[in-house]
Chains A and B, each alone.
Chain A
């Protein structure tokens, strides 16, 4: 019995590899692997949010068949360990070989990541009638220089466990890893298949969509299916119709309104208010300093600034970004950027 799922993007999540929308080349290749009951380490590449992890998961589940539960593990390389995990890792501590960035020289996070999240799993032999286990690692490039450790893992435990590494930035992957994997480029769904998908959802949910709306939806979301379905759901919610205006209206909601407000406050010179808002954003969304700066940077072009004003603001953010690398207190570093923008606003 299927429960009625209130969230459309989950409701319309493909449940098998076949149900994946579009990407038939990729699907065919993966099916061949399933048929030959073997595949090398894989590296899935493609823009963010287009379905790489879902495809990897469905592929693995089909490959492993009924034995997939104990033999499949999905880990997120960008999520820091909890304090319990860190304490456990400390006993087998690795010093981070990162020479740069926040993690430099620290005795926690990523190498411990391999210790805690991956090693215990790959060491245990595969259970049931499967040739090997599978580990899916999402956002693999965030491991930066600790990818070396991973390489050794791939070599030593490769026969018992295959890796499916997922990344959106190939430049962030070190060569030794690339050369040990079969690269699989995963493109976003194309426009035609996207329109078919949207029409199906609309029909099921009994919504009327204006002509041409699907194309605009594709443009706004850049082919990211989950985001598109989210937007469709929100836009249609009050009266079961979706028009282009409604799409644009509602897409603003996702456009990080709070960030925009923060930027506007600083450009009006309201430091105190800006700091309070930035603290609120931080406690809700838990961005790192760099992530917050990137969001502010992205919002900049949406504000009508002259070309030199824009250039100056960017330079201010760049300086603050560099300074924040070694900074310990994110509130101070953020306040630094806010105060500079507030000061700069007096010249606008």
Chain B
């Protein structure tokens, strides 16, 4: 991957470990006993393929036998036992379940096919989504020398039908017909999945310790050359995310790539440990449990959270909870009116309209959802990642580059960022030589040079 596109990759992807040996593996338990996650999973995969081959061969023989015998004498095909086909990783979000699977696949030279169970609303949908991946090899597989695969089903606890027991038979069907090993991930124990738990192994993954998370975060920050984040801030972020490493990494990226550093620290500092937990709960409640305007009002009334930030949390998390475009349009209609009212309040200092602001960003957004059924189950709540001040301002690196440009060419900052720099990027992308010519002439150092790279 080119260096330029690496720059704009989400850090969660960029720093995803490529091998299990690279990882700080969380500890895990199987049936109450501590196990080595790496060993267990490797064993599972290897055994699957061995068993599958054996059984396929056996079944081949049985089929040919059956062709020459009457029905009452025919033998049944052998099925591989479910606990050799699928395994469940259960653990809190962001602990590394998906990363483990990918690293494992990499180590064993397998491809990963990933699907997310909670996105699918009907049983049929799930089946059709998975059918392509689980059925026998398609034409493409014959043409391209493809590797064997692992089927990763994420957020199995968010599966529709978990509530009314339709899910387990679906999953068992899939286990029956699959050609590839299945690893499922879930965030928490679900009563209705008990029949499933009885048939396959469940590995309980423990959350990472704060120290482990801190170490990983610091490593990434060093690699990204971010030096202006104070340790206190990093620790706040880690605390708020409760062991969710993915959340921590995303938040760090969001903050260090935001355009207005000052506001970000205000945002962070305004949240102490108690209010963060509160916010998480409020947001979840707002989207999943509120069904009347009064409930919405009560929810926002009882919280101490600064409304200045609360509505930004709502903004950030709307797409997590609301998926239908028609509902999104209503939600955002209300939220944008709330923002408009808020702006007018600031301008006129007429605070009497504040209640409308509340009603719109809380109740208005929540009630735009027509049905709650699809919405149950765990949904991740994110820190407001995008801090927008709406005013043109340059970060330190941009300012340096613009100054250097201005030394050679009379131009305004706005033109430099919006017109000239994009042109330079196109020019510099043509060849290494061009990049060198331009950056040498402008006398840019290595960090400043980065701004000349085209974003992917």
A/B touching: CB–CB < 8 A: yes
CA of A128 to CA of B63, assembled, Å: 105
Stretch of A176-184, A215-223, A286-294, A304-312 at the chain-chain interface: A286-294
Stretch of B93-101, B209-217, B421-429 at the chain-chain interface: B421-429
Q: Which residue of B lies closest to A105 (CB)?
A: B347
CA of A54 to CA of B409, assembled, Å: 11
Q: Which residue of A lies closest to B348 (CB)?
A: A105
Within 8 A of A (CB), among B1-45: 8
Query: B328, B340, B347: which contacts A323 (Cβ < 8 A)?
Result: B340
Q: Does A93 contact B (CB under 8 A)?
A: no
Q: Does A104 contact B (CB under 8 A)?
A: yes
**Among B341, B408, B412, B434, which residue has the most Cβ atoms of chain A within 10 A?**
B412
CA of A251 to CA of B332, assembled, Å: 35
User: Is the beta-carbon distance between B390 and A289 smaller than 8 angstroms?
Assistant: yes
Query: A76, A286, A335: which contacts B393 (Cβ < 8 A)?
Result: A286
User: Is the beta-carbon distance between A335 and B332 smaller than 8 angstroms?
Assistant: yes
Q: Which residue of A lies closest to B391 (CB)?
A: A80
Q: Which residue of A lies closest to B415 (CB)?
A: A76
Contact of A336 with B335 at beta-carbon distance under 8 Å, contacts A7-B424, A343-B328 already known: yes
Shortest distance from the beta carbon of A246 to any chain B beta carbon, whole Å: 13
Q: Which residue of B lies closest to A82 (CB)?
A: B393
Query: B410, B430, B441: which contacts A3 (Cβ < 8 A)?
Result: B441
Shortest distance from the beta carbon of B213 to any chain A beta carbon, whole Å: 25
- Which residues of the other chain, B, contact A57 by a CB distance below 8 angstroms? 410
Q: Does A237 contact B (CB under 8 A)?
A: yes
Shortest distance from the beta carbon of A334 to any chain B beta carbon, whole Å: 8
CA of A335 to CA of B346, assembled, Å: 21
Contact of A331 with B418 at beta-carbon distance under 8 Å, contacts A280-B455, A286-B259, A336-B336 already known: no
Within 8 A of B (CB), among A2-41: 3, 5-7, 10, 13
- Which residues of the other chain, A, contact B414 by a CB distance below 8 angstroms? 76, 78-79, 286
Stretch of A63-71, A119-127, A194-202, A267-275 at the chain-chain interface: A267-275
- Which residues of the other chain, B, contact A279 by a CB distance below 8 angstroms? 386
Interface code B379-405, partner A: CB below 8 Å = 1, 0 otherwise? Answer: 000000010111111100000000000
User: Is the beta-carbon distance between B441 and A7 smaller than 8 angstroms?
Assistant: yes
- Which residues of the other chain, A, contact B312 by a CB distance below 8 angstroms? 329
Interface size class for chain A? 35 or more
Q: Does A213 contact B (CB under 8 A)?
A: no
CA of A150 to CA of B338, assembled, Å: 36
Interface code A227-256, partner B: CB below 8 Å = 1, 0 otherwise? Answer: 000100110011000000000000001100
User: Is the beta-carbon distance between A331 and B386 smaller than 8 angstroms?
Assistant: yes
User: Is the beta-carbon distance between A286 and B417 smaller than 8 angstroms?
Assistant: yes
User: Is the beta-carbon distance between B412 and A275 smaller than 8 angstroms?
Assistant: no
Within 8 A of A (CB), among B284-343: 311-312, 315, 318-319, 325-326, 328-329, 331-333, 335-337, 339-343
Where chain B touches its partner, the secondary structure class is: helix
CA of A5 to CA of B328, assembled, Å: 51
- Which residues of the other chain, A, contact B319 by a CB distance below 8 angstroms? 271-272, 275
Q: Which residue of A lies closest to B326 (CB)?
A: A343
Q: Does A133 contact B (CB under 8 A)?
A: no
- Which residues of the other chain, A, contact B77 by a CB distance below 8 angstroms? none
- Which residues of the other chain, A, contact B336 by a CB distance below 8 angstroms? 320, 323-324, 327, 332-333, 335-336
- Which residues of the other chain, A, contact B188 by a CB distance below 8 angstroms? none
- Which residues of the other chain, A, contact B438 by a CB distance below 8 angstroms? 6-7
- Which residues of the other chain, B, contact A91 by a CB distance below 8 angstroms? none
Shortest distance from the beta carbon of A65 to any chain B beta carbon, whole Å: 19
- Which residues of the other chain, A, contact B258 by a CB distance below 8 angstroms? 283
Count of residues in B whose CB is under 8 Å from the partner chain: 55
Shortest distance from the beta carbon of B250 to any chain A beta carbon, whole Å: 12
User: Is the beta-carbon distance between B339 and A346 smaller than 8 angstroms?
Assistant: no
- Which residues of the other chain, A, contact B427 by a CB distance below 8 angstroms? 6-7, 233-234, 237
Q: Which residue of B lies closest to A334 (CB)?
A: B388
Q: Which residue of B lies closest to A10 (CB)?
A: B409
Shortest distance from the beta carbon of A109 to any chain B beta carbon, whole Å: 9
CA of A326 to CA of B347, assembled, Å: 9
User: Is the beta-carbon distance between A288 and B392 smaller than 8 angstroms?
Assistant: yes
CA of A94 to CA of B225, assembled, Å: 41
Q: Does B61 contact A (CB under 8 A)?
A: no
Within 8 A of B (CB), among A67-126: 74, 76, 78-80, 82, 102, 104-106
Interface code B326-368, partner A: CB below 8 Å = 1, 0 otherwise? Answer: 1011011101110111111011100000000000000000000
- Which residues of the other chain, B, contact A339 by a CB distance below 8 angstroms? 325, 328-329, 331-333
CA of A13 to CA of B188, assembled, Å: 66
User: Is the beta-carbon distance between A327 and B329 smaller than 8 angstroms?
Assistant: no
Query: A79, A105, A271, A332: which contacts B335 (Cβ < 8 A)?
Result: A332
- Which residues of the other chain, B, contact A230 by a CB distance below 8 angstroms? 423
- Which residues of the other chain, B, contact A329 by a CB distance below 8 angstroms? 311-312, 315, 339, 388, 390
Within 8 A of B (CB), among A40-68: 53-54, 57
User: Is the beta-carbon distance between B257 and A283 smaller than 8 angstroms?
Assistant: yes
**Among A78, A339, A345, which residue has the most Cβ atoms of chain B within 10 A?**
A339
Shortest distance from the beta carbon of B6 to any chain A beta carbon, whole Å: 15
User: Is the beta-carbon distance between A342 and B329 smaller than 8 angstroms?
Assistant: yes
CA of A336 to CA of B329, assembled, Å: 7
- Which residues of the other chain, A, contact B424 by a CB distance below 8 angstroms? 7
- Which residues of the other chain, A, contact B412 by a CB distance below 8 angstroms? 76, 78-79, 138-139
Contact of A343 with B329 at beta-carbon distance under 8 Å, contacts A6-B438, A330-B390 already known: yes
User: Is the beta-carbon distance between A5 and B441 smaller than 8 angstroms?
Assistant: yes
- Which residues of the other chain, B, contact A271 by a CB distance below 8 angstroms? 319, 325, 328
CA of A243 to CA of B422, assembled, Å: 23
Q: Does B413 contact A (CB under 8 A)?
A: yes
Can you list 6 A-B pairs with a CB-CB distance of less than 8 A? A6-B427, A105-B347, A283-B258, A333-B339, A339-B325, A339-B328
Interface positions of B (Cβ within 8 A of A): 8, 257-259, 311-312, 315, 318-319, 325-326, 328-329, 331-333, 335-337, 339-344, 346-348, 386, 388-394, 408-410, 412-414, 417-418, 422-424, 426-427, 430, 434, 437-438, 441, 455
Interface positions of A (Cβ within 8 A of B): 3, 5-7, 10, 13, 53-54, 57, 74, 76, 78-80, 82, 102, 104-106, 138-139, 230, 233-234, 237-238, 253-254, 269, 271-272, 275, 279-280, 282-289, 320, 323-333, 335-336, 339-340, 342-343, 345-346
Q: Which 7 pairs between the two chains have the least Cβ-Cβ distance?
A: A336-B336, A343-B329, A76-B412, A326-B343, A6-B437, A339-B332, A330-B390
